[in-house]
Amino acid sequence: MSEQYKVSVSPHVRDSITTSKIMLYVIIALMPATIFGIINFGAHALLVIVVSIASAVASEYCYEKLLKKPITTNDLSAVVTGLLIGLNMPPEISWWIPVIGSVFAIIVIKQLYGGIGQNFMNPALGARCFLLISFSSQMTTYAAGDRFSHLTDFVQGEFTGHAAGALDALSGATPLAYLKQGYDFNLGALFAGNVTGVIGETSALCLLAGGIFLLAMKIIDWKIPVIYLGSFGVLVLITAAVRGYSNPCMYMLEELCAGGIMLGAWFMATDYVTSPITYNGQIIYAVFLGVMTWLFRMVGSGSEGVSYAIILGNVITPLIEHYTRPRAFGIPKEKKQKKEAAAS
């Protein structure tokens, strides 16, 4: 016989897709939100995205070159990290702040822990939280400008207030700031993205289109994003009903379209490295994210909480996987093994 059996260690399931191809699909999926953010906020938003990507790639290349490690910039993972950092920046932020974030993400969170596949949290989210702590004022300033002057109509006329009292000034406020006070916001503007916020989170439509693309390409599984959004939505609906809001369903949809939850659910919570791989683990993880985001937004003093919720989920992922790991066929449970050992 000319053919020979090939014997190798597990895993025996192979896939032709590569890391660079996966990252390319993620970049393509992020393009609608990226292009919309640049159109929405102008040339400075483009500058922020470009310097974020460039500094992430340069950080990875320089680190690996100095330490004489294999250069991995061609796998596009640094590009994805830099792009996500740029999309998580306020549009008018100083260009050097996302540079610091990209360097921190690549060097501290990714490379110091062994490179791609070894980081214990999502590098882009870790960088965002680091920047929120280090530059809290700059990271939470959202200039409205003439581009969003139409929002004044919502404040003065089209707003349907659930709570008494005057609204905050429009300048620098995001839809979540108004929703936090119990006011309705225009759902159409939130879904389309004609609102203030960070560069890549404003258009729920663009982010949803990107998420559907990743599902179609089988890059991500539906469980984490759908259960995350669903559990959060149910909790918001119950909260709005308990608080006596006039239209709890509309308020829930507005919360789902506002802030960073769409960006987080489709593009960050689904990160291969920092999310569970077990079936039940993914369900527990997604519900945990929904509950934590609800706590941060609806119970805590802040109006956002997606970044912190996902970071906490990343941290407990090893614990979730430990308790949801399936048993191999024919292997009894650990407690049964101990009883049998004690009896013998």
Torsion sign, CA atoms 52, 88, 277, 311: positive
The stretches of 67-183 forming alpha helices (DSSP H) are 77-87, 96-103, 123-134, 136-139, 151-153, 175-180
Give the pLDDT confidence score for residue 327 in this predicted structure. 72
**With a cut of 70, which residues of the chain have pLDDT below it?**
1-15, 143-173, 328-344
Domain residue limits, the chain = 19-139, 173-324
Q: How far apart are CA 276 and CA 280, in angstroms?
A: 9
- pLDDT, tens only, 75-99: 999 999 999 999 999 999 999 999 9
DSSP states along 269-295: TT-TTTS--SHHHHHHHHHHHHHHHHI
User: Tokens 């995205």 map to which residue?
Assistant: 49
Torsion sign, CA atoms 101, 105, 107, 109: positive
Residue 299: CB partners within 8 Å, gap ≥ 6? none
Give the pLDDT confidence score for residue 340 in this predicted structure. 59
State the amino acid at position 238 in one-letter form: I
Q: Tell me which residue of 95, 91, 90, 122 sits closest to 106, measured CA to CA.
A: 122
Give the pLDDT confidence score for residue 168 in this predicted structure. 36
Give the pLDDT confidence score for residue 166 in this predicted structure. 33
Residue 88 has which token pair? Answer: 């998580």
Q: Exposed/middle/buried for 99, CB within 10 Å: 0-12, 13-18, 19+? A: buried
**Beta carbons of 118 and 71 less than 8 angstroms apart:** no
Give the pLDDT confidence score for residue 53 in this predicted structure. 97
**Beta carbons of 293 and 63 less than 8 angstroms apart:** no
Apex CA 16: angle with CA 10 and CA 19, to 5°? 90
Give the pLDDT confidence score for residue 216 in this predicted structure. 96
Cis peptide before 11 (omega within 30 of 0): yes
Q: Tell me which residue of 51, 49, 69, 50 sits closest to 110, measured CA to CA.
A: 69
Max alpha carbon distance in the chain (Å)? Answer: 86
Q: Tell me which residue of 33, 46, 13 sits closest to 264, measured CA to CA.
A: 33
Apex CA 168: angle with CA 163 and CA 174, to 5°? 100
Does this model's pTM top 0.95?
Answer: no
**Beta carbons of 54 and 82 less than 8 angstroms apart:** yes
Residue 14 has which token pair? Answer: 């192979």
Apex CA 132: angle with CA 38 and CA 273, to 5°? 80
Q: Tell me which residue of 223, 214, 174 sits closest to 197, measured CA to CA.
A: 174
